[in-house]
Chain A
Amino acid sequence: MEIRLEYYLIISTIMLFAGIYGFITRRNLLAVLISVELMLNSVDINFAAFNRYLFPDAMEGFFFALFAIGVSAAETAVAIAITINIYRNIRNIQVHHLDTMKH
């Protein structure tokens, strides 16, 4: 019994769709952000596994995963800054209360 490539893909699929479920159903901005982190992380697993199994001499998947980690760190920092600013203004971060910019 060996560890096949499909096992990695199935794990990351389950993680991706757990993230999508959370993104649809959660009503808290921070919980939505946590779901986005799950989705980004599952894609990184795919990059690394494809690179290791199908193209073991290349490094493209490795570097894409590396850069994706950097981009998601930047995205999280800005998103959390915005969330804290929203909380400072209207004392709430539930998404159905965020309608002050609607007309």
Chain B
Amino acid sequence: MEITIQETVFFILAAVIVGCSILSVVTRRILRAATYLLFVLFATAGIYFQLNYSFLGAVQLTVYAGGIIVLYVFSILLTSTDVKMRAAKLKNSKLFAGLVASLAGAAICVLITVTHSFGSYHLKGGELHVNDIGQALMGTGRYQYLLPFELISVLLLACIVGGILIARKR
């Protein structure tokens, strides 16, 4: 049994995702939580690259790692919660209840995933061409996505207006 470079990359990415996503919810300092979230998002982009969805990986890198994390870091520093964060202590019973609930849910989901048979599948390699993505995104026919695309653009416009309205000085 030999391990190819594809599998090595996948298992490194999997270890980073699992470790950093758990660390980002158990660490007590919120700036560190944001940093671990950044690592998780990077590794997710790596998963997309490894699945041959380069466009999705690039979108993930630019939108999440480039945009959202910067927003988070700015708002954490603006609200300066990192100092007060450790003062807020949670009751042990609630912590225990959350731990039990999430562990039980994860165990059930993993059990169902492992025992379920997905039928025979074959991983077809090959890159999804950006030309095809653009044609499907801009078409109005069957399996084409012009309407959701326009809906997203209206949503983003509403989001800009709402953000300005909420955050402006009065």
Q: Could you tell me which A residues sit within 8 Å of B by CB distance?
A: 1-3, 5-11, 13-22, 24-28, 30-31, 33-35, 37-38, 41, 44-45, 48-49, 52-54, 56, 58-60, 62-63, 65-67, 69-74, 76-78, 80-85, 87, 92-94, 96
Is B98's CB under 8 angstroms from A25's CB?
Answer: yes
Output the least CB separation between B113 and chain A (Å): 5
Question: For the complex, what is the distance from the CA of A77 to the CA of B69, rounded to whole Å?
Answer: 11
Is B52's CB under 8 angstroms from A65's CB?
Answer: no
Is A28's CB under 8 angstroms from B68's CB?
Answer: no
CB contact under 8 A between A49 and B51, given known A15-B18, A76-B71: yes
Is B48's CB under 8 angstroms from A48's CB?
Answer: yes
Is B24's CB under 8 angstroms from A84's CB?
Answer: no
Please name the residue on chain B nearest to A47 by beta carbon.
B56
Q: Which residues of A contact B159 (CB under 8 A)?
A: 74, 77-78
Is B37's CB under 8 angstroms from A37's CB?
Answer: yes
Question: For the complex, what is the distance from the CA of A74 to the CA of B113, rounded to whole Å?
Answer: 31
Is A78's CB under 8 angstroms from B25's CB?
Answer: no
Is B41's CB under 8 angstroms from A28's CB?
Answer: no
Q: Which residues of A contact B155 (CB under 8 A)?
A: 70-71, 74
Number of A-B contacts (CB under 8 A): 209
Question: For the complex, what is the distance from the CA of A43 to the CA of B65, rounded to whole Å?
Answer: 17
Please name the residue on chain A nearest to B75 by beta carbon.
A80
- Nearest 4 interchain pairs by C-beta: A22-B25, A24-B98, A21-B102, A17-B106
Q: Which residues of B contact A18 (CB under 8 A)?
A: 21-22, 24-25, 102
Question: For the complex, what is the distance from the CA of A77 to the CA of B17, rounded to whole Å?
Answer: 24
CB contact under 8 A between A13 and B79, given known A52-B123, A59-B128: no
CB contact under 8 A between A63 and B137, given known A6-B113, A84-B78: yes
Q: Which residues of B contact A27 (CB under 8 A)?
A: 88, 90
CB contact under 8 A between A83 and B163, given known A7-B14, A18-B24, A25-B94: no
Question: For the complex, what is the distance from the CA of A26 to the CA of B102, rounded to whole Å?
Answer: 14
Instruction: A11-B18, A18-B24, A59-B132 are known; give 19 further A-B pairs, CB within 8 A.
Output: A1-B3, A5-B118, A5-B121, A10-B110, A13-B106, A16-B109, A18-B22, A24-B102, A31-B85, A38-B37, A48-B51, A52-B53, A62-B133, A63-B137, A69-B59, A69-B64, A80-B72, A82-B166, A94-B81
Interface CB pairs A-B, < 8 A, 23: A6-B114, A11-B17, A13-B113, A17-B102, A21-B98, A24-B97, A24-B102, A30-B75, A34-B24, A38-B21, A38-B40, A41-B41, A44-B44, A45-B44, A52-B51, A52-B53, A63-B145, A71-B152, A76-B68, A81-B162, A84-B75, A94-B88, A96-B88
